[in-house]
A and B are shown apart, each in its own frame.
Chain A
Amino acid sequence: MGRRKTRRNSIGRGLIGGAAVILALGAGAVAWAWESAIPPQPRPAAESFPAELVAEGARLAAVGNCIACHTVPGGRSFAGGLALPTPFGTIHSTNITPDEDTGIGRWSEAAFTRAMRRGVDRDGRHLYPAFPYDHYTRVSDADNRALYAYLMTRTPVRAEAPANHLPFPLNIRMAVAGWKLLYFREGAFTPDPAKPEVWNRGAYLAEGLGHCGACHSPRNALGAVDKDRAWAGGEAEGWTAYPIDQDSPAPVPWTADSLTFYLRHGWHPAHGVSRGPMAEVTGNLVGLPDADVAAIGAYVADRMGPPSAERLRRGEDLRALVSRRTADAGAPPGAGPTAADSQARPPAADSGRTGGDERGEAIYRTACATCHESGRPLPFGGLPFALSTAVNAANPQNIVNVTLFGLPPGDGTVSAVMPAFGGALTDADMVALLRYLRGRFSDQPPWDGLERLVADTRSGAHHVAVRPADGIERAPQNVGAAD
């Protein structure tokens, strides 16, 4: 990712130039952009929705990860109010419980479907694209009906979302119409008849409700997904969303099976534990049928394409190395998570490659290896770094985040836990350790700008959302990060 500018660097210029463009286009597009209000209706009785439709809606809502953005950490589900920092200002998610005054209680199904399909609220106002209607537009009417049934049968919560903080002209809703004109294409998903049914199901879920591309794609100066480079990697809440196309930096190439396992369980022995915003995604998928998870896995694997013979061979070597180590540790393969510490194997002597950083090596051996070489299987044991996408990725942001802030424990929730090392490691020690990890556990070129990245992440200049690894819960906010 060193080849292209990070989003943060482009924000300033983008805002000024982009605002002017939007103003001009927005004003000119008023006629095109006009949407009428859909009359309010009394809230339908919960009993009026068939139970199976509600259950289907629940599964779909899990795919859409609706709860993540529409819930304040620790607050009532779907009651909105979460501050979503965007490069252009702060937007607050809305209350999508069926409260009649502050939620969507008076929305008809038609109004709901229009919001999903075209990004317009019941009053006819354009919604900011933080609500990913550029993906949700692909959702079928039938699925919107189920989602509507699900949301309308939630507990109504009276909660007014705080005002958004956006600079002029972005605070003019009509300006969004200009943005839509440029970047938004309405249209339901059309299956590819040449592909198998499972592929089409996966594509429908991943490209539509699942909105994988919302995080995993680069965005332009106006915050729109760069469609030509969809899934080429992006950013979310201070974390790198890795490329999930042919440029996936995973040391062991992903397969349909491994993706399915990862999405189902939130971890995979050859890839590690989902964290950052991805933990919420995998946490939510708990409610999804196996077949749908497998369909997403199959589709994503196909989008990634077959790995090169060289990558494949390297991946096999790595897996063999790791399973040998696990066996050495006394745990029969497949025995599942066992001892946490004392019954585990002591760290092995270094194999030789030090990355040229003795301080980093010493830190690794004393602070990291006790867990990351213990042989305790995932998800509770530490991932061997040779398998780490974070260590092999072009951008070191995620390894910096995890090292500084750890994987915070979920409250009463079974989850991988890693202590934060931000207090113990000075910036210099962080840099030494990261250099060592990169040199020893990847064959990628050294990272540039580590000093700055570490300092900015620690200080909060680069804000990172750090949450417990229990997905759906989101509470409490930003644990462990310097705020």
Chain B
Amino acid sequence: MAIDLTVNGTPQRVEADPDTPLLYVLRDDLGLNGAKFGCGLGQCGACTVMVDGRAVLSCVTPVLLMQGRAVTTVEGLGTAEAPGPMQRAFIEEQAAQCGYCIPGMMMRAQALLQERPDADDAAIRRALEFNLCRCGTHMRILRAIRRAADTMRHAETAAPNGRAG
């Protein structure tokens, strides 16, 4: 069946079996590498994307539910040439070893900070409980998210039309 959705700001129409997890649609039909297959069970968070601003595990989300929804993947946060604040923070903190889990981490953190720009360390850890890292990059991931939170707060206060942080 045909599903109309918005991915990283671009309207897309995809033809897929309705039970197909969003993950496969993003990766195989739309060629987006950011969301990763990790468990297919919603246990590890490697496939985390944002749907209408909330963190969603794309490996257990049938594309059927995505009609009319707005999906953001890590590609929607910026590019290698012009990384967004979250990506820049991860690059600056060198917060990756193999890096496989990192896009999921970034999307989980992005969803958290969009909803709660003032999220403290405890809130960040709590949100990240759903995301596994096996290389042990956790210290850097936490640092990167704190850095991104700072950047995003400053950007908001600096921007003329920005909401109050």
**B partners with A:** yes
**Contacting chain A: which of B48-56, B84-92, B135-143?**
B48-56
A429 contacts partner chain B, Cβ-Cβ < 8 Å = yes
Cβ-defined contact, A409 with B129, below 8 A? yes
Cβ-defined contact, A419 with B57, below 8 A? yes
> Please, which residue of chain B has its CB at the minimum distance from the CB of A369?
B19
Task: Give A240-259 interface residues, CB cut-off 8 Å to B.
Answer: none
Q: Within the complex, which residue of B18, B40, B42, B56 is in contact with A417, where a contact is CB–CB below 8 Å?
A: B42
Cβ-defined contact, B56 with A418, below 8 A? no
Instruction: Give the size of the chain B interface in residues (CB under 8 angstroms).
Output: 25
Min Cβ gap A381→B in Å is 11
> Please, which residue of chain A has its CB at the minimum distance from the CB of B22?
A424
Point out the residues of chain A lying under 8 angstroms from B56, CB to CB.
423-424
Q: Within the complex, which residue of B41, B55, B129 is in contact with A341, where a contact is CB–CB below 8 Å?
A: B41
A348 contacts partner chain B, Cβ-Cβ < 8 Å = no
CA of A425 to CA of B66 in the docked complex: distance in angstroms?
Answer: 9
Point out the residues of chain A lying under 8 angstroms from B61, CB to CB.
367, 421, 424
> Please, which residue of chain A has its CB at the minimum distance from the CB of B19?
A366
Cβ-defined contact, B42 with A418, below 8 A? yes
Point out the residues of chain B lying under 8 angstroms from A367, CB to CB.
60-62, 64-65
Q: Within the complex, which residue of B65, B111, B129 is in contact with A425, where a contact is CB–CB below 8 Å?
A: B65
Task: Give B56-84 interface residues, CB cut-off 8 Å to A.
Answer: 56-57, 60-62, 64-65
Point out the residues of chain A lying under 8 angstroms from B43, CB to CB.
409, 417, 419
Known: A476-B125, A479-B126, A480-B130. A424 touches B41 (CB 8 A): no
A340 contacts partner chain B, Cβ-Cβ < 8 Å = yes
Q: Within the complex, which residue of A366, A409, A418, A477 is in contact with B62, where a contact is CB–CB below 8 Å?
A: A366
CA of A442 to CA of B62 in the docked complex: distance in angstroms?
Answer: 25
A411 contacts partner chain B, Cβ-Cβ < 8 Å = yes
Counting residue pairs across A and B whose Cβ atoms lie within 8 Å, the total is 70
Binary per-residue interface labels of chain B (117-155) against chain A in the complex, 1 for a CB within 8 Å, 0 otherwise: 000001001100110000000000000000000000000
Point out the residues of chain A lying under 8 angstroms from B18, CB to CB.
362, 366
A363 contacts partner chain B, Cβ-Cβ < 8 Å = yes
Cβ-defined contact, B42 with A406, below 8 A? yes
Cβ-defined contact, B129 with A408, below 8 A? yes
Min Cβ gap A238→B in Å is 17
A365 contacts partner chain B, Cβ-Cβ < 8 Å = yes
Min Cβ gap B138→A in Å is 12
A residues at B contact (CB < 8 Å): 340-341, 362-363, 365-367, 370-371, 406, 408-409, 411, 417-426, 429, 468, 476-480
B residues at A contact (CB < 8 Å): 18-19, 39-43, 50-52, 54-57, 60-62, 64-65, 111, 122, 125-126, 129-130
